[in-house]
């Protein structure tokens, strides 16, 4: 279809301006058209219309990708995707009307990156922040059983507040819908430079270590990048939420030899991988939502004061059991302290020293856990409302389960006073396990002593 002029009306939508004229589609800003009585319906948000190119010289993938997006976009929800408004079918005029999200693409952000952030010395922080937001956006799709399959800078929009919105679902796959691209196309479709590591050659080929190209790249960032690009899926992050957790806490990333290397993988190792890949056969991937459930992020809320040995022991036992049946799950140890605890002028009670003290206590507590197959991180939060802080942390970090001590008050008291565990259980976005205090085994033999 040729470019449309401002004022053109399609199914009650009036064209305003052309935003983008690409190889697969034209995108316009639109508004509701004037009605017969001269009034115009207000929209809750700015709107954009996407119309696929379907001239004689355009490929069939334009039509198929439109059908895919027409199928998937209305089924998506959340802040990381544009809101769906309306669609037209192929028999008349194919189009998609959706929310027009204000912001700049990651492509534009990258073009301006060196100039702005390197001068301010904030490049590592900026990369981690944007990467974490992108990981949260991908995780939101995966929870809805959708894989984007065309993640590239031009399809990532960054709002002014830093939140990420994903665009263009023409190559996406929904686990519960027919895979139209696989049914209609017999060739790879997408942007070669951004296709996932499961292209055939990447089953044995490694990318060049970033530190070889730029020695200033920090080891923790290279560790994350090369883990994301590992040829074997089982050795990458088990979910985008795990990636977001690392990028949100770079100081707690476990750096291996991979993060330090400045030489690429040698011929011998690549040859061994080639032999291994030659005998590999396609294995269907698990449902994205099922993968998330199998390798979740667990959070344990540890009291910061007046903690008995029985409480420490009971929480450790509960966490150990939960991790034991979830190989690869990640553990976040969290404690919440009052802002008053760090407001003293006493140097021994400064913010950094208080945080270090609580971090050390949590690390000592975790030494009794079997963490061989699990990543663990430690977080000290400051808040006057403990329950709200815990719930907010769980929401922000895609936590699947919270483990915390049950209230020590009796049931009669809890009828009148909403304790922290009750508040968390009522408002948490995930499963909450309340653990009753137990007595360590070494004390059992002395309970009946005179």
Instruction: Report pLDDT digits (tens) over 365-406.
Output: 999 899 988 999 999 999 999 999 999 999 999 999 999 998
- Which tens digit of pLDDT belongs to each residue from 74-105? 999 999 999 999 999 887 889 999 999 999 99
Lowest mean pLDDT among 197-211, 221-235, 312-326: 197-211
pLDDT at 314 over 80: yes
Instruction: State the residue for tokens 């976005």.
Output: 429
Domains and CATH numbers, the chain: 1-189 (1.10.510.10), 196-279+287-293 (no CATH), 296-444 (3.40.50.620)
pLDDT > 70 in the chain, percent: 82
> CA-to-CA distance for 422 and 254, rounded, in angstroms?
35
pLDDT at 231 over 60: yes
Q: Which helix (H) or strand (E) holds 335?
A: strand 330-337
pLDDT at 169 over 70: yes
> CA-to-CA distance for 272 and 278, rounded, in angstroms?
10
pTM of the predicted structure, to 2 decimals:
0.86
pLDDT at 412 over 90: no
At 4, list the tokens: 């449309």
> CA-to-CA distance for 76 and 19, rounded, in angstroms?
23
pLDDT > 90 in the chain, percent: 56
**Torsion from C-alpha of 40, 43, 46, 47, nearest 10 degrees:** -80
At 129, list the tokens: 């922040």
Main-chain phi, psi angles of 200, to 5 degrees: -55, -45
> CA-to-CA distance for 1 and 322, rounded, in angstroms?
57
Average pLDDT over residues 284-309: 87
Highest mean pLDDT among 95-99, 277-281, 352-356: 95-99
pLDDT at 23 over 90: no
Lowest mean pLDDT among 124-138, 297-311, 411-425: 411-425
pLDDT at 447 over 90: no
CB contact at 8 A, 258 and 223: yes
> CA-to-CA distance for 213 and 218, rounded, in angstroms?
12
Q: Helices in 295-431 by DSSP H: which ranges?
A: 309-324, 351-366, 386-396, 411-414, 420-427
CB contact at 8 A, 241 and 138: no
> CA-to-CA distance for 389 and 398, rounded, in angstroms?
14
The pLDDT assigned to 3 comes to 86
* Burial (CB count <10 Å: 0-12, 13-18, 19+), residue 112: exposed
Tell me the CB-side half-sphere exposure of residue 25, using CA atoms within 13 A: 24
> CA-to-CA distance for 339 and 351, rounded, in angstroms?
9
Of 105, 213, 207, the residue nearest 154 (C-alpha): 105
How many Cβ atoms are within 10 Å of 25's Cβ, its own excluded? 24
Average pLDDT over residues 32-47: 93
The pLDDT assigned to 444 comes to 43
At 158, list the tokens: 């960054």
Burial state string for 68-91 with b = 16 or more CB within 10 A and e = fewer than 16: bbbbbbeebeeebbbbbbbbbeee
Q: What is the residue-wise DSSP string for 259-315? A: HH--SPPPHHHHHHHHHHHHT----PPPPHHHHHHHS-EEEEE--SSS--HHHHHHH
pLDDT at 175 over 80: yes
Of 415, 425, 331, the residue nearest 387 (C-alpha): 425
Confidence of residue 282 (pLDDT cuts 50, 70, 90): low
């Amino acid at each position: 279809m040729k470019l449309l002029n401002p004022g053109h009306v399609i199914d009650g939508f009036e064209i305003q301006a052309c935003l983008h004229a690409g190889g697969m589609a034209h995108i316009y800003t639109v508004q509701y058209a004037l009605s017969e009585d001269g009034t115009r319906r207000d929209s809750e948000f700015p709107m954009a219309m996407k119309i696929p190119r379907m001239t004689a010289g355009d490929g069939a993938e334009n039509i198929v990708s439109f059908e895919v997006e027409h199928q998937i976009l209305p089924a998506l929800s959340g802040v990381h995707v544009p809101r769906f408004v309306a669609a037209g079918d192929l028999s008349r005029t194919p189009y998609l009307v959706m929310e027009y999200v204000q912001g700049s693409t990651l492509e534009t952000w990258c073009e301006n990156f060196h100039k702005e952030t390197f001068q301010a010395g904030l490049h590592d922080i900026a990369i981690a922040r944007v990467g974490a937001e992108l990981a949260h956006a991908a995780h939101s799709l995966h929870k809805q059983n959708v894989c984007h399959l065309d993640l590239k800078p031009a399809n990532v929009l960054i709002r002014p507040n830093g939140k990420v919105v994903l665009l263009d679902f023409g190559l996406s796959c929904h686990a519960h819908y027919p895979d139209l691209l696989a049914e209609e196309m017999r060739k790879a479709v997408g942007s070669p430079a951004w296709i996932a590591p499961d292209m055939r050659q990447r089953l044995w080929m490694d990318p060049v270590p970033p530190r070889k190209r730029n020695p200033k790249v920090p080891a923790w960032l290279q560790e994350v990048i090369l883990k994301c690009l590992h040829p074997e899926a089982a050795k990458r992050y088990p979910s985008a939420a795990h990636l977001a957790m690392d990028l949100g806490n770079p100081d707690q990333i476990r750096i291996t030899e991979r993060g330090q290397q400045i030489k690429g993988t040698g011929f011998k190792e690549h040859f061994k991988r080639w032999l291994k890949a030659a005998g590999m056969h396609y294995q269907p991937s698990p449902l994205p939502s099922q993968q998330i459930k199998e390798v979740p992020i667990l959070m344990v809320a540890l009291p910061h004061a007046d903690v008995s040995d029985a409480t420490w022991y009971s929480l450790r036992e509960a966490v150990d059991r939960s991790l034991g049946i979830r190989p690869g799950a990640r553990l976040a140890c969290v404690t919440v302290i009052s802002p008053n605890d760090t407001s003293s002028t006493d140097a021994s009670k400064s913010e950094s020293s208080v945080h270090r003290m609580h971090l050390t206590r949590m690390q000592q507590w975790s030494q009794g856990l079997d963490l061989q197959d699990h990543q663990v991180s430690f977080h000290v939060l400051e808040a006057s409302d403990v329950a709200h802080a815990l719930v907010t942390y769980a929401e922000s970090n895609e936590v699947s389960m919270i483990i915390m001590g049950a209230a020590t008050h009796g049931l009669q008291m809890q009828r009148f006073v909403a304790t922290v565990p009750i508040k968390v259980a009522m408002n948490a976005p995930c499963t909450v396990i309340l653990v009753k205090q137990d007595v360590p085994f070494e004390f059992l033999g002395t309970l009946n002593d005179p």
